[in-house]
Copies of this chain bind each other. A is one copy, B any other.
Amino acid sequence: MNFIASQRASSFVPDDFYLRRVSHFARLNVGRGDIVMLGDSLINGCEWHELLERPCVKNRGINGDTVEGVRQRVEGIMQGCPAKLFLMVGINDVSHNIAAQDVACSIIALVEYLHRLSPCTQVYVHSLLPFNAAIHYASLSGKEEVVLQINHLLSEAAEEFDYTYINLYPHFSTSAGVLDAEYSNDGLHLSGSGYALWARLLQPYMCE
């Protein structure tokens, strides 16, 4: 598969919250040695520097963000050449009806862009998490297979495109393939127990 050629961006219209957060990030520094958590509401919703017990961890998540949204705002973040960057984005693209291959390819193109902006930064790409559309998120209904396909493509491309794939999915999924209610109260976003599990799964990558 030609990962770069087949990307198709989700349409992206930033709201007031998004623009405020971008303007906040523009006044915060990222430097060498820092660890950037980049992505959508799943990143936004966590006090990462506390949970990972590292003051150098910077939260650069924005609720509702898409692959295209991240791409448009990432240049300022990468200017500081952070040591590591952990990416979690794509579920909002799925919710906007973008096909699995298009989401995966735009994520991979984003990683290529990150490498160009800051070749010294180690890039980690999270799998998408399972969800439970029955609780709140009708826009994700029937798209369980799309998430599995995206994760498969992201896993397959990791070596070629020089990133580490972090497969969170099986740790958060029930045997029925939905987000375990232990980790979420709305079928999509994570509660304290969900973030605690995520942080435990990240520990091996923190000290690499």
Residues of A within 8 A of B (CB): 16-17, 19-29, 45-47, 49-51, 55, 58-59, 136, 184-186, 189-193, 195-196
Distance, CA A16 to CA B50, complexed state (A): 22
Taking the closest CB of chain B, its distance from the CB of A184, in whole angstroms, is: 8
Pick 7 A–B contacts, CB within 8 A, sort by A.
A16-B185, A23-B191, A23-B192, A24-B46, A24-B192, A49-B55, A55-B55
List chain B residues, Cβ under 8 A from A59: 47
Copies assembled: 2
User: With A49-B55, A55-B49 as given contacts, are A186 and B24 in contact (CB-CB < 8 Å)?
Assistant: no
A200 to chain B, nearest CB (A): 11
* B contact residues around A184 at 8 Å (CB): 20
> In the complex, which residues of chain B have a beta carbon less than 8 angstroms from the beta carbon of A47?
24, 28, 58-59
Asked if A191 and B51 make an inter-chain contact with CB atoms under 8 angstroms apart, the answer reads: no
A23 engages B55 (CB within 8 Å): no
In the complex the two chains form, is A192's CB within 8 Å of B58's CB? no
A185 touches B24 (CB 8 A): no
A72, chain B: closest CB distance, angstroms: 16
For A23, A26, A190, which residue has the most chain B Cβ atoms within 10 angstroms? A23
Known: A19-B185, A185-B19. A192 touches B25 (CB 8 A): yes
The closest CB in chain B to the CB of A19 belongs to B185
Taking a contact as CB atoms under 8 Å apart, the answer to whether B27 and A45 are in contact is no
Residues of the B chain whose Cβ atoms lie less than 8 Å from the Cβ of A22: 192
> Which listed residue, B21, B26, B45, B196, touches A45 by the CB 8 Å rule?
B21
A189 to B20, CA, bound (A): 8
A15 to chain B, nearest CB (A): 9
Q: Are B191 and A20 in contact (CB under 8 A)?
A: yes
Closest residue to A199 on the B side, CB-wise? B27
| Alpha-carbon separation in the docked complex, A24 to B49 (Å) | 13
- Nearest Cβ distance between residue A102 and chain B, in whole angstroms? 29
Q: How far is the CA of A27 from the CA of B199 in the complex (A)?
A: 12
A56 to chain B minimum Cβ distance, whole angstroms, is: 9
Contact B50 A20 (CB under 8 A): no
